[in-house]
């Protein structure tokens, strides 16, 4: 049981760190490209980009078993591309919005990902497995299972569950408002009052209706 809990803690922090690093990378890339600072968060609270957290989880689970650089690059290109595609697909399916569209890029896949971004995912996978992963494991083994870290992790898990849940509920309710569906519960009323369209537009500045 302890082993399962430890592995879960590790997977959780890998997801969180991936979300944070992905957010930073997106903000920096957008600033270099446009000269403007724009938040690129995927959750209402905090600088988190979940697609990168999911991508890093996939890297952590699969890539360590691969030894050759070309294998890591190919696998992470596929993993990253599939993760990006699925996140875009389900965001559109469930909430009627998209946060990225690569339709104008060469060899794109329904605008949800492209060969260029698959190559970027591949490079990120190589960097992660060859440079970051060895130190990552050592630090986690020394720090993760201390009592203080466990308490922080417990609070962080509760916060992220709330953050993901309220972000999903608010996005779903926003979709219902666009479809002119009236509030039918106290939760709907709460979401309409505290997470109106204007607030969500301010949080998700790079998002648009499909």
Task: Kindly state the tokens that stand for 7.
Answer: 């592995």
- Burial of 93 per CB tally in 10 Å (0-12, 13-18, 19+): exposed
The pLDDT of residue 34: 81
The pLDDT of residue 40: 85
The pLDDT of residue 210: 66
Residues in contact with 132: Cβ distance below 8 Å, sequence separation at least 6, in sequence order: none
What is residue 98's three-state secondary structure? strand
The pLDDT of residue 1: 67
The pLDDT of residue 151: 86
The pLDDT of residue 36: 80
Mean pLDDT calculated for residue range 61-86: 93
Q: What is the pLDDT of residues 122-161, one digit of tens each?
A: 999 999 888 888 887 788 777 766 767 788 888 999 999 9
The pLDDT of residue 147: 66
What count of residues does the chain have?
A: 210
Q: For 5-28, b where at least 16 C-beta lie within 10 A, e where not — what string?
A: eeeebbebbbbbebbbbbbeebbe
Cβ contact 36:30 at 8 Å: yes
Work out whether strand 208-209 and strand 97-98 pair parallel, antiparallel, or are unpaired. antiparallel
Task: Kindly state the tokens that stand for 162.
Answer: 């709330």
The pLDDT of residue 3: 73
97 - beta bridge partners? Answer: 209
For all residues of the chain together, what is the average pLDDT? Answer: 90
Mean pLDDT calculated for residue range 40-56: 94
What whole-number percentage of the chain has pLDDT above 90?
A: 59
Between 3 and 31, residue with greater pLDDT: 31
Between 18 and 5, residue with greater pLDDT: 18
Q: Where are the domains of the chain?
A: 2-209
Kindly report the pTM of this predicted structure: 0.89
The pLDDT of residue 164: 97
Least Cα distance to 27 among 40, 46, 17 occurs for 40
């Amino acid at each position: 049981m302890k082993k399962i809990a430890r592995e879960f803690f590790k997977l959780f922090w890998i997801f969180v760190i991936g979300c944070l690093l992905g957010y930073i990378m997106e903000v920096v890339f957008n600033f270099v490209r446009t000269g403007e600072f724009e938040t690129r968060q995927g959750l209402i609270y905090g600088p988190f980009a979940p697609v990168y957290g999911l991508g890093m989880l996939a890297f952590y689970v699969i890539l360590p078993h691969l030894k050759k650089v070309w294998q890591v690059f190919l696998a992470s290109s596929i993993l990253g591309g599939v993760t990006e595609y699925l996140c875009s697909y389900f965001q559109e399916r469930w909430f009627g919005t998209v946060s990225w569209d690569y339709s104008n890029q060469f060899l794109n896949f329904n605008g949800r990902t492209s060969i260029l971004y698959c190559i970027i995912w591949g490079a990120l996978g190589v960097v992660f497995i060859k440079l970051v992963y060895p130190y990552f494991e050592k630090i986690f083994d020394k720090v993760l299972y201390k009592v203080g870290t466990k308490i922080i992790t417990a609070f962080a898990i509760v916060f992220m569950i709330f953050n993901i849940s309220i972000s999903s509920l608010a996005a779903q309710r926003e979709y219902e408002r666009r479809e002119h569906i009236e509030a039918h519960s106290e939760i709907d009323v709460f979401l309409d009052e505290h997470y109106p369209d204007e607030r969500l537009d301010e949080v998700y500045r790079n998002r648009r209706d499909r």
